[in-house]
Chain A
Amino acid sequence: MSEGTKEPDGGEEKVVLKTHDGQEFTVDMATANQSGTLKNLLSEVGSSSNNPQVIPLPSSITSRVLGKVVEYCQRHAAGGGRRGGMQALEQFDEELVELDKDMLLDVTYAAAFLDVPRLLDLTSQAVADAIKNMSVEEVRHYFGVVSDFTEEEEKVIRSECPWAFE
């Protein structure tokens, strides 16, 4: 069944996304189709309103994270034609990725797993923006990356790029 197909009883096709922590998100097909992964899956299994397909999600995509992704997909399924046009949509995107680090990485992960390319662009850019203007120590702390340089190596790097550590 293709996107937007109405069923004989007039109900719209729905699909249920179920997170590992047991929450269910019922979304319409236009929303689900924002995700390449779901679109592929549903093109094979189909879904309907009285008998919606349930798709279980991996444990790394929590209900809080999925909520963000669904929010994005719903808004973008509606497109720029509603609620204030493209400008409002851009503002929505900007605000959507104002997240703390763990949430930002989790949503990035979910966008990659569910194959929502524009959301992945947004979150990847937000990760890059976070790195911008940080010092080396701040980057290490932010991402929980431990330096594995020897003392000698670190000394040389510091002498080459003293400003990177300020």
Chain B
Amino acid sequence: MPTLAVPGLLGFRRQFVDPEMQQLNIPMQNSLATLQKVADGLITQMQDLDCPIIPGLPDDVAKICLALVPRCDIPVMGAVCKTWRSFVQSKEFLTVRKDAKQLEEWVFVLTGDDAQGGESHWEVWGGSGEKLKELLPMPGPAKAGFGVAVLDAKLIIVAGYVVDGGTECVSNDVYQYDSRLNRWSSLAKMSVARHDFACDVVNGLIYAVGGIGADGENLCSVEVYDPDKDRWTLIESLRRPRWGCFACSFDGLLYVMGGRSSFTIGNSRFVDVYSPQHRSWYDMKIGCVMVTTHAMLGKKLFCMGWRNQRRLSIFDPLEGSWHSVSVPVSGSCAIGFCFGIFGGKLLLFSVKDEPGYQTLSYDPDAPVGSQWQISSFKPSGVCLCSVTIEA
């Protein structure tokens, strides 16, 4: 019945058939055989014969299968073999998960018995993160005044001073935690040991700005970490030393705010802005002072000042303007907060041991009147620091 001698097939055949076959007046069986050969050839192309991720599947399909596994099971996949391990810790894995809309948010909270950070551990919350409720301890001695950054789905802990040794024992050690492997590892050390500096990520690089050095000196030096090279590089310094400050990034620019500067008496209201593109610093006068906690949510910066723990200060970098929102807190006036982010909402964790306090959440996009809610997440102790990591 069937024939492949339909005129339209010629175009199709031309793409696949050997040139010598075209010379012949191909009988039907030969055409079929040729198509079979072509099809089998495609199979060979699809298969990575050396070391397939899943035997029997082309690697691009196998990668999608692995990317669909829930986040809490990723460490299991990372322990299967070297091929699986290298895939789950790759940037490609994150890209495939993102494309498949599988990225899951987890909130990491550094929890302590008291606000001094003596005994502390990282807790994880994210609905399905039960298996990783508490992280393995951070390597090295317990530290304070360190920088925290999130890079390629990893938690990065930068420098700080050793709690037992006091501020004269300043570190330049850098560690990363990868939730995909449930592993801490060491990264390259910083050029300058420092604590109480500003730290954030711009365009896939970590910036560490100012702080206090090993001899208690105030620093204006700035260094940048490139994860692909595992290297810190000193870049253009601040025009004046600055410490106790924090950083955030918008639109490819690094903003350094708060803290103190040796240029001004008291607290610095200046914002130092770094443009990686122009490799230069400039300043703005519209900063806030004495910020105790901050977080980026959407395209806005949320801060809370030391003077008033019942008011959120919100900075819109596009407008260059600040506005504020009051926090519906009743009861103890001793309350203090550390911000977290989850599901597009701001979480207000308590920095003091307040047994009656339930975590407040603020949704800037909710209708007025329902923006404030109670979150079901409550860290086991006081919150020293919190970051949110998608993977």
Contacts and interface: CB of A to CB of B under 8 A. Distances in A.
Interface of A: 16, 18, 20, 41, 44-46, 50-60, 102, 105-106, 108-109, 112-113, 120, 124-125, 127-128, 131-136, 139-140, 143-149, 157-158, 160-161, 163-165
A57 B56 contact: no
A131 B70 CA distance: 9
A162 B39 CA distance: 45
Interface string B41-77: 0110010000000111110110011111110010111
Interface residues of B, number: 47
A140 B66 CA distance: 13
B42 A113 contact: yes
Contacts of B69: 128, 131-132
Given A105-B57, A136-B80, A147-B81, A164 B75 contact: yes
A57 B32 contact: no
A128 B57 CA distance: 13
Given A44-B9, A161-B78, 12 more contacts: A18-B32, A41-B12, A44-B8, A44-B11, A53-B6, A109-B56, A112-B57, A112-B58, A112-B60, A128-B68, A128-B69, A147-B81
Contacts of A161: 75-76, 78-79, 181-182
B369 interface: no
Contacts of A45: 4, 6, 8-9, 12
A139 B88 CA distance: 15
Contacts of A60: 43
A112 B46 contact: yes
B81 to A, nearest CB: 5
Contact of A160 (B6, B43, B136): B136
A2 to B, nearest CB: 14
Interface of B: 1-4, 6, 8-9, 11-12, 32, 35-36, 39-40, 42-43, 46, 54-58, 60-61, 64-70, 73, 75-84, 131, 136, 181-183
A141 B12 CA distance: 42
A126 B129 CA distance: 21
Chain B CB within 10 A, most for which of A51, A144, A157: A157
B91 to A, nearest CB: 20
Nearest to A101: B56
B68 A148 contact: no
17 contacts: A51-B3, A56-B35, A56-B36, A57-B39, A105-B54, A108-B65, A109-B58, A109-B61, A112-B61, A113-B42, A124-B64, A127-B65, A134-B76, A135-B76, A144-B55, A161-B181, A161-B182
B80 to A, nearest CB: 5
Given A44-B9, A45-B8, A161-B79, A105 B56 contact: yes
Nearest to A126: B65
B55 A143 contact: yes
